[in-house]
Amino acid sequence: MGRDATVWRIPFDNIPEGADLDEYELHHVRIGNLGMVMHLREIIGTLPDAQDRFVILLHQVLHHGTLSGDTIERQQVEALSLEVASLPDGHDADLDDFKTRFGELCQVAINHGSNIDF
């Protein structure tokens, strides 16, 4: 159990039932197990003005370690990307890794005009 994020070639609801999902996946990121999600949430939550600066990250991305079925709508992806980009470098190795991988996922979603699904 844990949290994963995916950008699909078409909206997930439009993928035919029984289709090979790998054929529709543009980019996938494993955020981590519940422990990693809570670790990242704790680190980000202690940053200055975190509740104002990282609203999407804290309330939609890292709010729950195992829940799937959540979506960041394409209209929010640009704002999410800015939140990710503003995370500090060198603060924590896990945070650095998350920033790089999740930042790449956001860029794919922006370039493709897609949602990010969990």
Task: Please give the model's pTM, rounded to 2 decimal places.
Answer: 0.92
pLDDT at 32 over 80: yes
Q: Is the CB of residue 5 less than 8 Å from the CB of residue 29?
A: yes
H/E element holding 96?
Answer: helix 93-112
Tokens 């079925």 correspond to 69
Average pLDDT over residues 52-72: 86
Q: Who's near 10: CB < 8 A, 6+ residues apart? A: 24
With bands split at pLDDT 50, 70 and 90, how would you rate the model's confidence at 11? Answer: very high
pLDDT number for residue 65: 58
- Contact partners, residue 113, CB within 8 Å, separation at least 6: 74
Whole-number pLDDT of residue 68: 74
Domain boundaries, the chain: 3-16+27-75+85-117
Q: pLDDT digits over 64-106, tens only?
A: 656 677 899 999 999 999 999 999 999 899 999 999 999 999 9
